[in-house]
């Protein structure tokens, strides 16, 4: 029987002594060898000795296994004699399933790799995993099996139950194959060696999972010529081979955290009485003016892809839903090739009727985000740490209640630090970043709200400030100095909306249905749209938004 070794710690090493001890124990083992590995195309799946398999099934399997074993040996030792083959006393215990096309139902109680812990030591278990690495040393063979973010090491030692052929078969399994193993969980005092640093080269994979998992060298490391530079996979190779790149611990962690962002957002809003709505993505006219919109052929005419669900959120408010949110794709035909722009991203949008002042909404949104950050840190500490291993970043910091900064105060802070900027100027991206740095220094927070933007730099539907016509009831929210949300009180009066649209030279005909929505009474309301991938990227301190999108889309990338 193989041993599944319980990994503990980060960069463990198995001592020589430990290895010898294990080998001796294994050789003495009187139990049948129950490691069973079965090869099929690229997917290896086990079939083997378990009480539930009939004798007939086992025989069939053994024959298949011998064939597979022969095939596996063709490339290696073609001279192997027939007598050697007859000596394969393990032949019933490994082989290939062939195509798993649901021919028969089977029940094996697989233990999850993450459940292979010291607490389960000495139990005999089935486990299914992907071959992360294999390493054979004479009469030993080690397999690291990976399942999501968890790995476990399988140790096999040649003995009276594990044949030479079986070891050869196992060590010939290509990386990224899927195998089933029956083994005993064995707790080792000195945790086992991580095979991550000993990759078996497998040229046919377009990228190696280990390389794609590696932290990029720091400038210091780069300048150190003596250091043995290990391969790091560049972003385009990653994205071209996204299926393989997604198998890294880092990718798994990123997308589990991203699912957590959505989950937190919805749960927090549900608890506050918001209703989830669905907004259409195909629209008859661009609601935000007309620039940066994708056109779609629509039967004999044409249509557009929604740049935001804003109109529909607002119509739901006019329809008395009071508090609504929606999560869905948002499309921007901007030819921006930056680290933070994509042509399609996921919007976390919310809109809320208020009683008297838009701060009721702005404060709600800021609280929702703060609550979300807390939830993420509580629920995903392992995933955050895993991402940090590859992409080191300061932990995300925030304060409670959230910091709210007025635009004029931000301008004053910038000027006091040498930035020349007019009262009603918009913030450029570098200035935003710099402001984030100043805010972090002064207030120790990576998250803050910037309130009361100049009216001139906001869209026509933004409610002007009641006290100073130069400003507006609008706000942005920032994480690590980058904008993640833009929001405002919207004009809920059809006449004023028309007037402001004219002022902005927006074609009234195109936005008629937008204006009509406010003709039969609409409560005052405000809201905002959050970029999901930006939240993920900035919460984790990633350097490129594409790492936070499963299948990113930008002006130059439409595949996979």
**Which residue(s) pair with 527 in the sheet?**
351, 488
Tokens for 350, please give them.
Answer: 């919310």
Nearer to a copy of itself, 78 or 520 (CB): 520
Q: Under the criterion CB under 8 A, does residue 244 sit at the interface with a copy of itself?
A: yes
Out of 87, 189, 394, 516, name the contact with a copy of itself by CB under 8 A: 516
Choices 3-11, 57-65, 107-115, 432-440; region in contact with a copy of itself by CB under 8 A: 107-115
Burial class for 476, CB neighbours closer than 10 Å (0-12, 13-18, 19+): buried
Consecutive H or E run containing 362:
helix 359-379
Count other C-beta atoms under 10 Å from residue 408's C-beta: 14
Residue tagged 């499963």 (tokens):
550
Least Å distance between CB 155 and a copy of itself?
Answer: 23
Report the residue number, 337 or 444, with the smaller CB distance to a copy of itself: 337
Which among 25-33, 191-199, 224-232, 257-265 is the span making contact with a copy of itself, rule CB under 8 A?
257-265
**Residue range at the interface with a copy of itself (CB under 8 A); choices 20-28, 371-379, 415-423, 465-473:** 465-473
Instruction: Confirm or reject binding of residue 208 to a copy of itself (CB under 8 A).
Output: no
Q: Is 52 in the site for a copy of itself (CB under 8 A)?
A: no
Residue in 23, 53, 108, 232 binding a copy of itself, rule: CB under 8 A = 108
Binding to a copy of itself in span 390-409, by CB under 8 A: none
Q: Which stretch binds a copy of itself (CB under 8 A): 19-27, 213-221, 415-423, 494-502?
A: 494-502
Number of residues that bind a copy of itself (CB under 8 A): 111
Selected range binding a copy of itself among 160-168, 220-228, 288-296, 433-441, rule: CB under 8 A: 288-296
Please choose, from the candidates 514, 520, 485, 483, the residue with its C-alpha nearest in 3D space to the C-alpha of residue 500: 514
Among 81, 101, 228, 505, binds a copy of itself (CB under 8 A): 101
Question: Which CB atom, from 161 or from 323, has the smaller least distance to a copy of itself?
Answer: 323
Q: Does the footprint of a copy of itself cover residue 177 (CB under 8 A)?
A: yes
Residues 147-176 that bind a copy of itself (CB under 8 A): 147-148, 176
**Cα separations in angstroms, 444 against 4, 396, 417, 436, 448:** 46, 10, 17, 10, 10
Report the C-alpha dihedral over residues 337, 287, 352, 549, rounded to 10 degrees.
-30
Q: Are 432 and 453 in contact (CB under 8 A)?
A: no
The verdict on 105 binding a copy of itself (CB under 8 A) reads yes
Q: What is the largest CA-CA distance in the chain?
A: 96
Among residues 121, 235, 246, 457, the one that binds a copy of itself under rule CB under 8 A: 246
**Token output for 138:** 């004479």
CA distance 353 to 526: 7
Beta strands in 354-461, from DSSP E residues, in sequence order: 403-406, 447-451
Query: Residue 307 in contact with residue 330, Cβ under 8 Å?
Result: yes
Q: Which is nearer to a copy of itself, 64 or 161 (CB)?
A: 64
Question: Which CB sits closer to a copy of itself, 19 or 178?
Answer: 178
């Amino acid at each position: 029987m193989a041993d599944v070794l319980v990994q503990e710690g980060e960069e463990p090493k198995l001592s020589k002594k430990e290895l010898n001890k294990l080998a001796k124990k294994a050789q003495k083992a009187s139990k049948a060898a129950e490691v069973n590995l079965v090869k099929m195309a690229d997917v290896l799946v086990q079939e083997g000795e378990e009480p539930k398999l009939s004798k007939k099934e086992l025989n069939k399997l053994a024959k298949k296994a011998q064939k597979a074993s022969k095939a596996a040996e063709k490339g290696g030792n073609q001279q192997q004699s027939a007598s050697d083959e007859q000596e394969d006393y393990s032949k019933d215990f490994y082989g290939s399933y062939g195509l798993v096309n649901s021919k028969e139902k089977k029940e094996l109680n697989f233990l999850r790799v993450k459940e292979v812990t010291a607490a389960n030591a000495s139990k005999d278990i089935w486990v299914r995993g992907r071959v992360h690495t294999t390493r054979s040393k004479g009469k030993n063979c080690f397999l690291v099996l990976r399942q999501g973010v968890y790995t476990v090491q399988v140790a096999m030692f040649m003995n009276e139950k594990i044949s030479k052929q079986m070891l050869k078969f196992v060590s010939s399994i290509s990386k990224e194959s899927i195998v089933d193993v029956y083994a005993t969980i064995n707790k080792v005092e000195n945790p086992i060696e991580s095979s991550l640093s000993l990759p078996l080269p497998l040229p046919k994979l377009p990228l190696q999972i280990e390389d794609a998992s590696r932290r990029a060298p720091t400038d210091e490391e780069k300048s150190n010529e003596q250091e043995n530079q290990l391969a790091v996979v560049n972003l385009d190779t990653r994205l071209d081979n996204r299926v393989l790149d997604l198998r890294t611990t880092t990718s798994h962690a990123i997308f589990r955290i991203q699912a957590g962002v959505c989950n937190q957002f919805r749960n927090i809003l549900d608890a506050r009485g918001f209703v989830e709505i669905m907004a259409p993505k195909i629209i008859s006219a661009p609601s935000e003016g007309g620039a940066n919109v994708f056109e779609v052929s629509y039967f004999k005419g044409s249509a557009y892809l929604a740049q935001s669900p804003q109109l529909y959120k607002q119509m739901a408010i006019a329809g008395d839903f009071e508090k609504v949110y929606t999560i869905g794709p948002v499309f921007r035909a901007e030819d921006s090739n930056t680290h933070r722009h994509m042509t399609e991203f996921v919007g976390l949008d919310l809109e809320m009727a208020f009683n008297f002042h838009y701060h009721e909404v702005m404060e709600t949104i800021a609280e929702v985000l703060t609550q979300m950050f807390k939830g993420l840190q509580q629920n995903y500490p392992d995933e955050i740490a895993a991402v940090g291993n590859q992409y080191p970043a300061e932990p995300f910091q925030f304060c409670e209640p959230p910091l709210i900064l007025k635009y004029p105060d931000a301008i004053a802070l910038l000027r006091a630090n040498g930035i020349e900027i007019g009262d009603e100027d918009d913030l450029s991206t570098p200035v935003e970043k710099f402001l984030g740095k100043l805010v972090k220094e002064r207030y120790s927070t990576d998250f803050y709200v910037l309130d009361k933007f100049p009216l001139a730099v906001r869209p026509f539907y933004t409610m002007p400030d009641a006290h100073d016509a130069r400003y507006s009831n609008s706000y942005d929210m920032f994480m690590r100095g980058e904008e993640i949300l833009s929001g405002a009180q919207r004009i809920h009066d059809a006449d004023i909306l028309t007037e402001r649209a004219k002022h902005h030279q927006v074609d009234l005909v195109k936005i008629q249905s937008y204006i009509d929505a406010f003709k039969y009474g609409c409560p005052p309301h405000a809201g905002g749209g959050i970029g999901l991938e930006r939240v993920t990227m900035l919460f984790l301190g990633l350097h490129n938004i594409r790492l936070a999108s499963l299948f990113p889309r930008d002006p130059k990338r439409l595949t996979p």
